[in-house]
């Protein structure tokens, strides 16, 4: 389903979440409304919604209740829903997964979450779609292409401001750090109720600084280990030759090379207006060819691609402004001829004694909240070959 239709489906359906517990009496039904009763929920819908579509919604909400509330232990949220609007999709799977997304919003309302935080609220609601209906990849996968083709450091794409697209991050965190129970524990974390930002709560639960978690996610994007990668990457490759979109594309020829400017421009810059309904950033606000390499926005991500073309041992070093070193996380993601990826934190000098064993090298950088710093990547022939992928400095 085209993402624009998918988003219209969200925007054109008005769902009033009635948080009061259902009355044992039949609710008073206004003229033009009807009632569907599932095992645990009541769905009241206007006639123009159509009974069949309301039934699909009710099935999705009940499935979400069974999976998320009964099995995973989330709070029950609303028990009564009013449906109004004109859902554009006729596909039962799409309607059920959208219902799951909306049901999870009612669950979120039962916790003291900051509803203005779209990355957490919309992102985990999209995560819930996959949690309840993992077999319906097409129902949620199209929302995630921006991570791979939408650019990585533009003002309107500041990552922690994303909404539905943030679901890919939460899918990654869920897959690697405790599943639905981690999401539930984050909602229940006392710091959340005190208004502390969710990254701090997530860090406390995983035992890792949030920037480390974010860098692991960024490296997974480069290594094609993002959740549902077998569907996500082929979709992205239909739009751009390099996935994820890099800021630099070059070769190791055995000659010293200092990389300090971007030489690759996002070939799909209109993604933001096509999918978000808002204005795109100007060309000058996207890291353009010739721009000095600097991650300008919090939690921005840069990918630099190097193709080995020489057998000369390669010493690779990323230099960040000294005062900003702790604000950066850097990984080398190397792909072998077999297609297997190796991921290594890049600390100090990285030496590849046999660079031609790899078909692609990607340097992945991300920064935290502190002010940005410029960086450069230096490639030169190593005089002390090391058999390991990276030597920690």
Q: Please tell us whether the domain made up of 1-110 is placed in CATH 3.30.2010.
A: yes
83 backbone dihedrals φ, ψ, rounded to 5°: -110, 125
Q: What is the largest CA-CA distance in the chain?
A: 83
Structural Rg of the chain based on CA atoms: 23
pLDDT of res. 125? 95
Q: Cα–Cα distance between 361 and 363 in angstroms, integer? A: 7
Q: Cα–Cα distance between 25 and 276 in angstroms, integer? A: 43
| Count of beta carbons in the 10 Å neighbourhood of residue 341 | 18
**What is the tens place of the pLDDT at every residue in 247-305?**
999 999 999 999 999 998 776 655 444 444 444 444 434 567 888 898 888 888 999 99
DSSP 352: E
| Count of beta carbons in the 10 Å neighbourhood of residue 231 | 13
Q: Cα–Cα distance between 11 and 383 in angstroms, integer? A: 60
pLDDT of res. 31? 76
For 301: left if phi > 0, alpha if psi spans -120 to 50, otherwise beta; the answer is: beta
Q: Which residue has 């005089």 as its token pair?
A: 383
User: Measuring CA to CA, which residue among 73, 74, 58, 72 is closest to residue 109?
Assistant: 74
N residues, the chain: 393
Q: Cα–Cα distance between 366 and 300 in angstroms, integer? A: 6
Q: Cα–Cα distance between 148 and 130 in angstroms, integer? A: 19
Q: Cα–Cα distance between 127 and 134 in angstroms, integer? A: 10
| Count of beta carbons in the 10 Å neighbourhood of residue 292 | 11
Contact 134, 64 (CB under 8 A): no
Helix (H, G, I), strand (E, B) or coil at 256: coil
CATH architecture of 246-269+288-393: Sandwich (2.60)
Q: What is the dihedral of CA 237, 241, 244, 245, to 10 degrees?
A: -130
Q: Cα–Cα distance between 268 and 265 in angstroms, integer? A: 9
8-26 burial: b if 16+ Cβ within 10 Å, else e: bbbeebebebeeeeeeeee
pLDDT of res. 219? 97
The pTM score is 0.88
Helices (H) and strands (E) in the chain, counts: 12, 13
User: Measuring CA to CA, which residue among 129, 96, 121, 140 is closest to residue 7?
Assistant: 140
pLDDT of res. 158? 66
What are the domain boundaries of the chain?
A: 1-110, 139-241, 246-269+288-393
Q: Cα–Cα distance between 188 and 183 in angstroms, integer? A: 9
pLDDT of res. 251? 96
- DSSP string computed for 150-190: S-SS-GGG-GGG-SGGGHHHHHHHHHHTTHHHHHHHHHH-H
Contact 340, 295 (CB under 8 A): no
Q: How far apart are the first and last CA of the chain?
A: 48
Taking 3-state DSSP, the helix, strand and coil percentages for the chain, each rounded to the nearest 5, stand at 40, 20, 40
**Intrachain domains 1-110 and 246-269+288-393 with the same fold:** no
Flag residues of the chain having pLDDT under 50.
1-12, 18-23, 155-156, 271-285, 392-393
């Amino acid at each position: 389903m085209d993402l624009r239709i998918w988003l219209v489906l969200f925007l054109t359906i008005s769902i009033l979440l009635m948080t009061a517990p259902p009355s044992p009496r039949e609710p008073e039904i206004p003229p033009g409304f009807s009632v569907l009763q599932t095992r645990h929920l009541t769905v009241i819908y206007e006639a123009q919604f159509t009974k069949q579509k309301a039934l699909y919604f009710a099935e999705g909400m009940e499935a979400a209740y069974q999976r998320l509330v009964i099995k995973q232990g989330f709070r029950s949220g609303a028990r009564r829903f009013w449906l109004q609007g004109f859902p554009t999709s006729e596909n039962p799977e799409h309607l059920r997964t959208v219902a799951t997304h909306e049901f999870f919003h009612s669950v979120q309302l039962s916790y003291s979450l900051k509803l203005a935080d779209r990355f957490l609220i919309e992102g985990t609601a999209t995560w819930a779609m996959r949690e309840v209906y993992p077999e319906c990849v097409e129902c949620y996968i199209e929302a995630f292409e921006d991570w791979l083709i939408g650019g990585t450091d533009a003002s309107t794409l500041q990552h922690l401001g994303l909404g539905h697209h943030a679901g890919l991050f939460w899918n990654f965190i869920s897959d690697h750090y405790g599943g639905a129970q981690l999401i539930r524990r984050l909602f229940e974390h006392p710091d959340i109720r005190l208004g502390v930002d969710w990254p701090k709560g997530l860090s406390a639960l995983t035992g890792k600084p949030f920037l480390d978690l974010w860098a692991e996610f960024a490296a997974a994007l480069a290594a094609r280990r993002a959740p549902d990668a077998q569907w996500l990457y082929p979709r992205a490759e239909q739009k751009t030759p390099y996935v994820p979109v890099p800021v630099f594309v070059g070769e190791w020829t055995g000659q010293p090379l200092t990389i300090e400017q971007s030489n690759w421009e996002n070939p799909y810059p209109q993604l933001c207006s096509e999918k978000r309904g808002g204005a795109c950033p100007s060309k000058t606000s996207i890291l353009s060819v010739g721009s000095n390499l600097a991650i300008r926005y919090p939690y921005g991500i840069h990918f630099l691609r190097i193709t080995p073309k020489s057998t000369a041992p390669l010493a690779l070093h990323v230099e960040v402004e000294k005062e900003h070193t702790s604000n950066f996380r850097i990984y080398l993601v190397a792909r072998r001829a077999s297609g297997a990826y190796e991921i290594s934190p890049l600390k100090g000098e990285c030496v590849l004694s046999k660079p031609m064993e790899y078909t692609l090298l990607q340097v992945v950088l991300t920064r935290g909240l502190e002010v940005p710093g410029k960086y450069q990547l230096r490639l030169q022939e190593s005089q002390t070959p090391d058999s390991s992928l990276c030597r920690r400095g």
